[in-house]
Amino acid sequence: MTRPSAFLRGAAAHAISSNGRSRRLPWFATGLGLPLLSMGFLLPDAGYQNALRLDLALTEVKPVFTLPLLFNSSDLVKAGEFGNPDIAADGNRAVTVKVRRGDTLDRIFRRENLDPAQLAAVMAQGPAREGLRVLRPGDELHVRHDGATLLEISRKLDTFHTLNVIRAGDGFEGRVTALEYQTRTARATGDIRSSLFEAAARAGVSDSTIMKLAAIFASQIDFVLDLREGDHFAVVYEEMWHDGDKLDEGEVLAAEFVSQGKTHRAVRYQAADGRVSYYTPDGRSLRKAFVRAPLAFTRVSSDFNPRRMHPILNKMRGHTGVDYAAPAGTPVRAPGDGRVSFAGRKGGYGNAIILEHGNGVTTLYGHLSRFAQATAVGRRVHQGDVIGFVGATGLATGPHLHYEYRVNGKYMNPRTVKLPEGSTSIDGRERPRFAQAVAPLIERLDAGHSMLADGKAPASASDQTT
């Protein structure tokens, strides 16, 4: 299911007083649009969750930091258990404040004619220090006050958690309230007509879930070029419900994708040691040593071609890699573990990075706008790490990534070269446990009806209440 953020995993609990503390489909172009170009492409297992989040740094305004982070965690409380009836008294004013560009909490206090001297007491609360530390344009703060005296300030942290800071005597108490919800299992299927996202929308599946499904099969299917009309998917996934309303979608539990007549299947399994990953029904890991492309959900603007006419030099010059068109600033991720052997300016490549992956395999990334902060010669990188950002440096007609794959110095077509396997299988001793755990998921994947057809939780052991 959807997990709390790093803050929420440690956030809030007992109140702390401040006094004390067939035809090829252009599926992406007709899908979500450019903000999803930078989506990570690794399997969403425990070690690779970060690769699944959307990289929206390009479209967001940089956040404003109110105060340094000094956070002490506390326990979550249930929504509705924390409140102050005095704040509803006559004469009190309740307002919703929308954060503007450049706003800090101090600036908001002054704009709302609140005594800024109260800010220190508010931020003395552990939950408030973290929950109000970063403000972004468009965020909403719900404020109750009596003249210049602040009575309550609250902020929705995510779908399931709300920060409340409420006056208590001469100080404040801070809590993060957690909304109780029920987890249900749903199944959806779709046929590709014009795009994967259009098919998902017709099936009632969220964009985030379909992105996870695509990430699961990233090492089996090239979602840039391989989709065809008539391809088919089925997905079993979690849904979170509260008072009859669907709040969100969670983990993908099982999935099937039929691409050009070939069936790919995956099940989510948590091993005895707690590790979570995706496997084929017979127990082979879907996480490979390499994924096909360092960018997800984009288009190939120039394929591997040893006799290509160069668009700038206007002469025959072999194209030794693949060009992926993407917006400037799109994150570029390492397709496999390796070591940075070069990072800098490299002639027509512009800003470029070369990774060594072992066994004679090297990869090159050209025309980058800039390098990731952690990218330096000699540094180790892991599959899914951001190493740089798409640009148009060097000999480039527009923003794109030039990607090369070499084996012992020989240029290979990145789209067709046989990639290192590196996958693992379920250990023989754990196979009975695996078979027992995934059998209901496979059965659910094969089912032809929706568990949520009536909109109510079914009487099934697969359902949970959280």
More confident of the two residues 296 and 353: 353
Second CATH level (architecture) for the domain 299-412: Distorted Sandwich (2.70)
> Predicted confidence band at 290 (pLDDT cuts at 50, 70, 90)?
confident
d(CA 314, CA 308): 10
d(CA 115, CA 105): 12
Residue 265 has a pLDDT of 96
Averaged pLDDT, 321-342: 91
d(CA 364, CA 224): 19
Residue 92 has a pLDDT of 81
d(CA 13, CA 8): 10
Residue 297 has a pLDDT of 54
Which range scores top for mean pLDDT: 55-69, 70-84, 110-124? 110-124
Q: Which two tokens stand for residue 222?
A: 């090239």
Second CATH level (architecture) for the domain 6-21+72-178: Roll (3.10)
How does DSSP classify residue 4?
P
> Predicted confidence band at 296 (pLDDT cuts at 50, 70, 90)?
low
- C-alpha torsion angle, residues 442, 447, 453, 459 (rounded to 10): -60
CA end-to-end span of the chain: 10
Burial class of residue 455 in the structure, from the number of CB atoms within 10 Å of its CB (0-12 exposed, 13-18 middle, 19+ buried): exposed
What is the CATH class of 182-287+424-465? Answer: alpha beta
Asked whether 360 and 296 are in contact (CB, 8 A), the reply is: no
The domains of the chain are located at 6-21+72-178, 182-287+424-465, 299-412
Whether 6-21+72-178 and 299-412 share one fold: the answer is no
Give helix 207-216 / helix 196-203 axis angle, nearest 10°: 120
Q: Which two tokens stand for residue 219?
A: 């090492």
Residues of the chain with pLDDT > 70, as a percent, come to: 70
Comparing CA positions, the residue from 400, 291, 287 lying closest to residue 335 is 291
Q: Name the amino acid, one letter, at 406.
A: R
Query: How far is C-alpha 351 from the chain's CA centre?
Result: 27
Q: What is the mean pLDDT of the chain?
A: 76
| pLDDT higher than threshold 90 for residue 425 | no
Tell me how crowded residue 296 is: count the other CB atoms within 10 A of its CB: 27
Give residue-wise pLDDT tens across range 127-186. 888 888 888 899 999 999 999 999 999 999 888 899 999 998 888 988 898 888 899 999
Give residue-wise pLDDT tens across range 174-228. 889 888 889 999 999 999 988 888 888 999 999 889 889 988 988 788 776 678 8
> Predicted confidence band at 319 (pLDDT cuts at 50, 70, 90)?
low
> Predicted confidence band at 371 (pLDDT cuts at 50, 70, 90)?
very high
Residue 218 has a pLDDT of 81
